[in-house]
Amino acid sequence: MALNQPLTTRVADGEKPALPQTTSVPRPSSHAMRPAPAGDIALSTSTSRPTLRSDERRRVWLDAYNAVRRETERRAAPLAPEDQVVQSMPDASPTKWHRAHTTWFFEQFLVTPRLADYRVFDERFAFLFNSYYVAAGPRHARPQRGLITRPTCDEVAAYRAHVDAAVARLLATASAAALDDILPLLELGLNHEQQHQELILTDILHAFAQNPTAPAYDARWTWPVSQRKRDDFVTLAGGVYRIGHAGDGFMYDNEGPAHEVLLQPVRLAANLVTNAEWLEFIADGGYANPTLWLSDGWACVQAEGWTAPGYWRQVDGAWFVMTLGGLRPVDPAAPVCHVSYYEADAFARWAGKHVPSEAEWEVAARTDRLGDAFGLVWQWTRSAYAPYPGYRASADALGEYNGKFMVNQMVLRGSSLATPAGHARATYRNFFYPPHRWQFSGVRLADYGA
Ligand SMILES: [Fe+2]
């Protein structure tokens, strides 16, 4: 299966983002890219309560809105208009499209239905910038987003400003009762935009990786510092545990209902698999040994010619990797990144270990004993992306956000270096197709041995 020919036309289209605790805007590199600790996403718990004074709620949410919107623009700012138009594969979208699509989301689902005197910026934009919401009307083909040279980047900036002004007007003029309806939608829209902020980086990295000159998104970019644990493994006793989101704070619908799961005794690696370990896998013929691979995975290896993780290339016998900082030597101590589920599974088999389930990962993460659970690489799990018991998507257009993708994909847990600050929690369920590896995806092993 060719990586550039996905099983469907949609791949986690930015449909999962927690809101900023502050209005500060971190840089998309190094330490500043690390998210807040899991659960530290308190904006909604403190500001959506109807008990707060109405004017305070309006102010806090407008500040949050502006902060998220600024962060999107900050991430796009290093990119020239030429960079922002390119679509390097069907699964990736142009930066300009991300900026416009996130704006359409607010216009479509928040402003147009709720602001009486709102005038749509451009009637044609709904077709261009609707991603996959069938109930919201027809849309442009995903693989052809790179052909949309118009509207220009400047026109998209004007679109963003137009909708920003409308959102500010809506927050200022809505009745106190109406705010109870508006704020959850606003919060969803902000989380949605944060998901696209991550995609802006993953997608432009893929585009730059196709350029023989290996451009740097940020020449000063460095890997975030690892928070490795000294222990080798985190032991979980067998038994019944509760997973899923419950209580205060923003959650996507796919994080619930909270429910009980039965775990077997297991040990989860305290740390992520490193490049040094992956180099051993390569040297031992890992990519040439079909007995290590799932059938679909082996087909991928052969079709794609995989001999190493995504973006790795050999230069004069040494391994280099394309990063946000351009082409850099592979750092043996850094966690392996840009590997598919198939590679994670093959590596685990080679290592005599397993890929953990998402329930095991969540239970272990709640103990705070997993090193680098958040902020470096998403971690594949062997759990299929399926609904939790009793899950039901809402009947409106926003019910399409997560529910309709609950087949044929695998769950990833944690967060990555590209995940915006505050947008991570132990219950978060990311999901991608097994061959995909242009996200910042890595591996944590599980061991069921005695
Ligand atoms: Fe989206």
CA dist., res. 208 & res. 88, Å (int): 9
Token pair 């939608």: residue? 185
Tokens of 364: 């272990």
- Residue 314 · residue 13 · CB < 8 Å: no
The residues, any chain, with a CB within 8 Å of residue 300's CB and separated by 6 or more, are 1, 3, 306, 340, 342, 435
Tell me, in angstroms, the distance from the centre of ligand 1 to residue 14's CA.
5
Ligand 1 mean position, distance from CA 35 (Å) = 20
State the distance from the centre of ligand 1 to the C-alpha of 222, rounded, in angstroms: 28
Residue 142 alpha carbon to ligand 1 centre in Å: 12
CA distance 331 to 336: 9
Cα(273) to ligand 1 centroid in Å equals 30
Burial of 218 (0-12, 13-18, 19+ CB in 10 A): middle
* Tokens 């946000």, located at residue: 324
Q: How far is the CA of 110 from the centre of ligand 1 (A)?
A: 14
The vertex-274 CA angle with 370 and 290, nearest 5°, equals 115
Encode the chain (450 residues) as per-residue pLDDT tens digits.
Answer: 232 222 222 333 443 333 333 323 233 333 333 333 322 223 343 445 555 788 999 999 999 999 999 999 999 999 999 999 999 999 999 999 999 999 999 999 999 999 999 999 999 999 999 999 999 999 999 999 999 999 999 999 999 999 999 999 999 999 999 999 999 999 999 999 999 999 999 999 999 999 999 999 999 999 999 999 998 999 999 999 999 999 889 999 999 999 999 999 999 999 999 999 999 999 999 999 999 999 999 999 999 999 999 999 999 999 999 999 999 999 999 999 999 999 999 999 999 999 999 999 999 999 999 999 999 999 999 999 999 999 999 998 889 999 999 999 999 999 999 999 999 999 999 999 999 999 999 999 999 985
Q: Ligand 1 mean position to 129 CA, how many Å?
A: 9
3-state DSSP of 44-80: HHHHCCCCCCHHHHHHHHHHHHHHHHHHHHHHHCCCC
DSSP per-residue letters across 399-425:
GGTTGGG-SS-EEEES-BTTSPTT---
**What pTM did the predictor assign?**
0.90
pLDDT of residue 91: 97
Distance 13 CA to ligand 1 centre (A): 5
- CA 203 to ligand 1 center in whole angstroms: 14
Neighbour count for residue 366 (Cβ, 10 Å): 17
Rounded to the nearest angstrom, the distance between the alpha carbon of 372 and the centre of ligand 1 is: 27
**Cα(191) to centroid(ligand 1), Å:** 10
